[in-house]
């Protein structure tokens, strides 16, 4: 009986390790990704941009920068969830009140192991963000 539980645990670990994942990059680590830092600096100068931009970072992984625009500078973004499937990758973000408006254009840096199928960035009510026209 004990062997079954150990075997089940090993299978669960293997399955968990096979799933694509995401992470949020802390803003104080922005210096590590030069192209993205330049883009974020540009967002702060052109604070009306409410969109997302995808960057390829090390080993083919992706970094998504989502910005809210200056109309929501009293907010901050958090990841509500990421759904991976062969047909689409959906990133859902939620707006939260920010204690102080530190940025003229609030943004979040979301790292993804990979993007499969259609890529969608949306808020919790299902409203989609558009991708910027800028090619990085």
- pLDDT tens for 40-50 read 999 999 888 88
Task: Say what the pTM is.
Answer: 0.82
**Looking at residue 46, what is its pLDDT?**
84
pLDDT confidence band for 51 (50 / 70 / 90): very high
User: Which residues lie below 8 Å from residue 24, measured CB to CB, with a gap of 6+?
Assistant: 78, 79, 108, 109, 110, 111
- pLDDT tens for 115-130 read 999 999 999 999 999 9
CA contacts within 13 A on the Cβ side of 133: 1
């Amino acid at each position: 009986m004990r062997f079954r539980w150990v075997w089940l645990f090993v299978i669960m670990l293997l399955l968990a390790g096979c799933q694509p994942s995401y992470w949020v990059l802390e803003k104080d680590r922005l210096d590590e990704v030069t192209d993205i830092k330049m883009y974020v600096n540009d967002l702060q100068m052109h604070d009306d941009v409410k969109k997302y931009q995808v960057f390829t970072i090390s080993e083919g992984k992706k970094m998504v920068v989502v910005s809210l625009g200056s109309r929501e500078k009293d907010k901050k973004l958090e990841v509500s969830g990421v759904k991976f499937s062969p047909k689409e990758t959906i990133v859902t973000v939620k707006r939260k009140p920010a204690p102080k408006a530190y940025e003229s254009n609030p943004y979040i840096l979301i790292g993804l192991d990979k993007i499969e199928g259609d890529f969608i960035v949306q808020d919790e009510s299902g409203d989609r963000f558009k991708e910027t026209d800028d090619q990085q």
